[in-house]
Amino acid sequence: MAFALVFILGSFVVYFELTQPAYENLQKTIGERNGYNKFLAEQKPAVNNVLKLIDNYTGDSAGNLRNALSATLPLGPDLSSSLVQLEGLVRLSGLSLQNITPEVNRSALIPSTKPLVKPVGTLTFRVAFTGSYNQVKDFFSRIENNVLLMEIRSANLQPLGAKAGVDLFTGTAEVVSYYQQM
């Protein structure tokens, strides 16, 4: 009878002190395994897609595409290139360039809210010019359609001199060019 009591008590002790904690730990381990399984099941197609994409974007045509893209939105700031292009656009439109002032302090990074998307930076230039209406119009159009992405943030166009009917203007434009942070 005493042995029976010992066995029963022993069973309870084994259950509450050993089996139950071991079972709880086991549940955690099972959860961990299921988590890894799920992760792997989700990541497998994603990684396969990435591998396919890499295959697609490693050929010559993809290289050209990447170069074109980098010409439009360079990786990192390139002040001199932006300046040269801006000066070229003023010249091509026939305007007389007064000055170009890079506003370095106003350069800023615009973070993206999307995952993996890197922040975009801006380089700001103030361009002063003189020219005819059509030349100004052409200059604005050239900026908007330039390969390196540029945008006119503000512009001011005033008649040059007081004489009415003269198609000559003086103007300033705040132009920004964009780049992507490396």
| Tokens, residue 176 | 């920004």
Looking only at the bridges linking them, the beta strands covering 120-131 and 150-159 are unpaired
Residue 102 CA to residue 89 CA, distance in Å, equals 16
Tokens 């060019």 found at? 177
Q: Which stretch binds other proteins (CB under 8 A): 17-25, 79-87, 95-103, 123-131?
A: 17-25
Residue 97 CA to residue 129 CA, distance in Å, equals 5
Which of 72, 96, 98, 101 touches other proteins (CB under 8 A)?
72
- Closest CB to other proteins among 3 and 60? 3
CB 74, min distance to other proteins, A: 9
Tokens 């990192």 found at? 76
- Core vs surface per residue 148-167: b (16+ CB within 10 A) or e: bbbeeeeeeeeeeeeeeeee
Which of 60, 80, 105, 164 touches other proteins (CB under 8 A)?
164
156 near other proteins, rule: CB under 8 A: yes
- Residues within the interface to other proteins (CB under 8 A): 1, 3-8, 10-11, 14-15, 18-19, 22-23, 25-26, 29-30, 32-33, 36-37, 39-40, 43-44, 47, 50-51, 53-54, 57, 66, 69-70, 72-73, 75, 112, 114, 116-118, 120, 133-134, 137, 140-141, 144, 149, 151-159, 164-169, 178, 180, 182
